[in-house]
Structure 1
């Protein structure tokens, strides 16, 4: 169990490593770079991350995964109206516009190896949390009659996560955000239309 000071030092190292990765890339950033940026010693880095660079990269990836969901708040946990869904959509677009073609989480997962258990577990946890939040929002809209109750909320949420990720991949490949905007706008239009059609 870390003390408050220890937890703060560990977080400073993670944040410093994340900044180095954004500046130089995961493959190029070194522990010495992180040490210099965070004003910590090599012994401190290995105290908090005994596994060295790989363990530190995994910690940074975990933090970046948290940020994916944090950047969608408070909207993601309050998808109770169409305006709330629109606000969430805008938050997603804003996040990835600011990120541009550089995706720290994607780079880190690639560096760690997508097939490693730790990387797979991290990605799975992120997708499951994201999908669960969207599922809860869809269920709320179904309960109020704003969306068709016949829709499978879990599969619909899964499709939305896949659509967002597809748009992000295209953004990273081309620098164009239009596909992500189209995916979100089309999904919201169809979800809203499902409730109207059911009410007729």
Structure 2
């Protein structure tokens, strides 16, 4: 088990690697770059990551996956009213607008997620956890009569996450969050239209 100082050093190495990957990509990031950025030596790096770059990349993938979900809280876990969904939507858009081309979601899926099978597994776990929380919100809204009973929570949650990822990918390419906003708004409007709210209403009265 790591000491507090050891855990801090390990995290500093991971964060340095994540920053290098965001700026230069996986293939262009070297262990020397990570050591220089983190202020550590090769011996320290291999102490925490004996298998070298592949083990470090997996740690970065896990760190980025955690950040994706953490960045959406507490809103993601409280999708029980239309007002809550709007707050979550605004938090998602604002977060990725601030992060721009350096967002953990894009790095995880477009860079790390295609690097190794282990990193792909981390990406899959992230998407499963994310889908479960969005699905739980849709199920709650369906039970309260705000979403039609025929709506499939699972497939709808997957569509919402896919819309976000598509918008983030374009944001990383163009620097514009408009595509992310439009995709997410369309998904939430679809949910509203299936419920009791008037068609086209952007701000139904919260429960």
- TM-score with structure 2 length normalisation? 0.85
Cα displacement string for residues 18-73 of structure 1 (whole angstroms, at most 9, x for unaligned residues): 23333444333322232233232211100111111222122112111111111111
Cα displacement string for residues 135-159 of structure 1 (whole angstroms, at most 9, x for unaligned residues): 0100111111111122111111111
Quote the Cα distance in structure 2 between the aligned partners of 1:130 and 1:151. 18
* Residues 41-60 of structure 1 aligned to structure 2 (within 5 Å): 41-60=41-60
Checking the alignment, whether the CA contact within 8 Å between 1:170 and 1:179 is kept in structure 2 is: yes
Q: Residue 194 of structure 2: SS of its match in structure 1?
A: helix
Is 1:26 matched with 2:26?
A: yes
Equivalent in the alignment of 2:205: none
Structure 1, gaps ≥5 residues long: none
Is 1:79 matched with 2:79?
A: yes
Quote the Cα distance in structure 1 between the aligned partners of 2:112 and 2:85. 34
Checking the alignment, whether the CA contact within 8 Å between 1:61 and 1:105 is kept in structure 2 is: no
Cα displacement string for residues 149-186 of structure 1 (whole angstroms, at most 9, x for unaligned residues): 22111111111111111212222233322221111111
Checking the alignment, whether the CA contact within 8 Å between 1:58 and 1:108 is kept in structure 2 is: no
Which range moves more in the overlay, 89-98 or 34-43? 34-43
1:107: Cα distance to partner? 4.2
How many residue pairs are counted as aligned between the two chains?
198
**CA gap 1:193/1:49 in 2 versus in 1, 3 angstroms:** same
Equivalent in the alignment of 1:183: 183
**CA gap 1:87/1:130 in 2 versus in 1, 3 angstroms:** same
Give the helix-richer structure, 1 or 2: 1
Which range moves more in the overlay, 27-36 or 87-96? 27-36
Equivalent in the alignment of 1:90: 90
**4+ residue stretches of structure 1 with deviation over 6 A?**
none
Is 1:127 matched with 2:150?
A: no
1:126: Cα distance to partner? 1.0
Checking the alignment, whether the CA contact within 8 Å between 1:96 and 1:168 is kept in structure 2 is: yes
- TM-score with structure 1 length normalisation? 0.88
Which range moves more in the overlay, 102-111 or 167-176? 102-111
Equivalent in the alignment of 1:151: 151
Which range moves more in the overlay, 171-180 or 124-133? 171-180
**CA gap 1:117/1:28 in 2 versus in 1, 3 angstroms:** closer
Structure 2, gaps ≥5 residues long: 199-207
